[in-house]
């Protein structure tokens, strides 16, 4: 069995009396598309910054392709590219110069490297901005520059920290198409995002952290399948009124909300749909349509973290 692309081993980080990380341990398989999820303040950024060498853990180890990020930091950095949340703004260098400088940090000065920079600029739709400075760019363009800088040394492990926060739909699509291509070529992708539908669609495996602790780590499909509920949307006839207090006791305890699209109920998987229809009938609801779906990653996430 191949060594993990990234291995977090009992990683702790304390800031005075605050335990930002409480002995977090998990491995990321080589070539996987991995989601690192958690509410604000869960410890995600501390983990990523520790992996990137920006934060030194109080104890524990982080290995990238077998290299300790503290004791073998030169080797570890060669395998790692990080796209941070913060946008870049540099009034002194053009985009091409920034990528040349970033290449120089890794001793990459060949003609092949110049061609790779050209390819990055083209794939990220930055070619026509190659001679612009970053403070002339939109937020979305700056995000693309960060991705190009993270990829300039062709790292095997790419960390995307909230890469689509605040970007438009077109840029989001461009980023995910490019990222999926990198994944197909064997790159390990680690994604943090608050857009859980993205994580559900992209990530093969997910770790959920809260309060500096690992709450769950499973394949996305296993995590979704072990959720105990399915969700039913009930659309009433246009003329039918609705009062929650008139629901049968069984429906009332399973009722979630009413919105513009109907009523939402949470039903245990072991309860047959016929039983739900019977309860609806007992409540004298005029049902026009009923649809059933499994839990989304967002709903599993909320259950595991207790976030509302």
In the predicted model, what is the mean pLDDT of residues 251-270? 90
What is the spatial distance between Cα 77 and Cα 102, in angstroms, rounded to a whole number? 12
Q: Would you state the CATH architecture of domain 227-305?
A: 2-Layer Sandwich (3.30)
What is the spatial distance between Cα 62 and Cα 298, in angstroms, rounded to a whole number? 28
Place of tokens 């570890």: 76
Q: Which has the closest alpha carbon to 162: 84, 48, 47? A: 84
C-alpha pair distances (Å), 302 with each of 192, 211, 227, 270: 16, 14, 11, 21
In the predicted model, what is the mean pLDDT of residues 190-208? 91
- For residue 208, the cross-strand partners are 37, 216
Residue 253 is predicted with a pLDDT of 92
What is the spatial distance between Cα 75 and Cα 65, in angstroms, rounded to a whole number? 9
3-class secondary structure, 24 = strand
Which pair of structure tokens corresponds to residue 22? Answer: 């409480």
Phi/psi-derived region of residue 44, left when phi > 0, alpha when psi is between -120 and 50, beta in every other case: alpha
Q: Where are the domains of the chain?
A: 6-224, 227-305
CATH for the stretch 6-224:
3.40.50.300
3-class secondary structure, 103 = helix
Residue 90 is predicted with a pLDDT of 78
Model confidence, pTM: 0.84
In the predicted model, what is the mean pLDDT of residues 191-220? 92
Residue 171 is predicted with a pLDDT of 79
User: Mean pLDDT score of the chain, rounded to an integer?
Assistant: 90
In the predicted model, what is the mean pLDDT of residues 213-238? 89
Confidence category of residue 239, pLDDT binned at 50, 70, 90: low
Residue 34 is predicted with a pLDDT of 97
What is the spatial distance between Cα 159 and Cα 45, in angstroms, rounded to a whole number? 11
C-alpha pair distances (Å), 305 with each of 19, 40, 167: 18, 11, 26
- Burial pattern 52-90, b for ≥16 Cβ within 10 A else e, equals bbebebeebebbbbebebeeeeeebbbbbbbbbeebeee
Q: Which of 57-71, 81-95, 143-157, 247-261 has the least mean pLDDT?
A: 81-95
In the predicted model, what is the mean pLDDT of residues 178-202? 91
Residue 240 is predicted with a pLDDT of 64
C-alpha pair distances (Å), 143 with each of 94, 137, 138, 167: 15, 10, 9, 8
Helices (H), 92-248: 95-105, 111-123, 139-151, 169-184, 196-202, 220-225
What is the length of the chain? 308
Residues 6+ apart with CB under 8 A from 44: 36, 37, 38, 161, 192, 209
In the predicted model, what is the mean pLDDT of residues 266-273? 91
In the predicted model, what is the mean pLDDT of residues 173-186? 89
Q: Which of 24-38, 76-90, 241-255 has the highest mean pLDDT?
A: 24-38
69 sits in which H/E element: none
Using a pLDDT cut of 90, give the percent of the chain over it.
60
Confidence category of residue 271, pLDDT binned at 50, 70, 90: very high
In the predicted model, what is the mean pLDDT of residues 144-169? 88
Q: What is the DSSP letter of 94?
A: B
- Burial pattern 115-142, b for ≥16 Cβ within 10 A else e, equals ebbeebbebbebeebeeebbeebeebbb
Q: Above 70 in pLDDT, residue 307?
A: no
> Is the torsion defined by CA of 283, 286, 290, 296 positive or negative?
negative
Concatenate the DSSP letters of all residues of 286-297 into one string.
-EEEEEEEEPPH
Q: Above 90 in pLDDT, residue 300?
A: no
């Amino acid at each position: 069995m191949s060594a993990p692309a990234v291995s977090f081993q009992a990683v702790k980080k304390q800031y005075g009396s605050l335990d930002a990380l409480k002995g977090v341990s998990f491995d990321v398989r080589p070539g996987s598309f991995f989601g690192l999820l958690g509410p604000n303040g869960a410890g995600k950024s501390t983990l990523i910054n520790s992996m990137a060498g920006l934060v030194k853990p109080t104890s524990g180890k982080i290995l990238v392709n077998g290299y300790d990020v503290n004791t073998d930091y030169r080797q570890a950095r060669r395998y790692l590219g990080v796209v941070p949340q913060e946008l870049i703004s540099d009034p002194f260098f053009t985009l091409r110069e920034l990528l040349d400088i970033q290449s120089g940090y890794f001793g990459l000065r060949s003609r092949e490297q110049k061609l790779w920079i050209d390819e990055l600029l083209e794939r990220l739709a930055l070619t026509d901005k190659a001679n612009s400075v970053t403070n002339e760019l939109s937020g979305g363009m700056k995000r693309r520059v960060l991705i190009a800088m993270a990829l300039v040394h062709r790292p095997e492990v790419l960390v995307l920290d909230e890469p689509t926060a605040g970007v438009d739909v077109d840029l989001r699509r461009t980023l995910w198409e490019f990222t999926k291509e990198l994944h197909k070529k064997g790159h390990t992708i680690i994604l943090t995002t608050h857009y859980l539908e993205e994580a559900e669609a992209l990530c093969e495996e997910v770790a959920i952290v809260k309060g500096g602790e690992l709450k769950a780590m499973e394949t996305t499909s296993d995590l979704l399948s072990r959720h105990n509920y399915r969700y039913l949307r009930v659309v009433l006839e246009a003329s039918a009124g609705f009062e929650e207090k008139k629901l049968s006791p069984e429906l009332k305890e399973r009722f979630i909300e009413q919105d513009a699209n109907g009523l939402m109920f949470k039903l245990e998987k072991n309860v047959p749909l016929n039983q739900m229809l019977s309860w609806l009938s007992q409540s004298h609801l005029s049902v026009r349509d009923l649809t059933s779906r499994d839990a989304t990653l967002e709903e599993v996430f909320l259950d595991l973290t207790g976030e509302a």
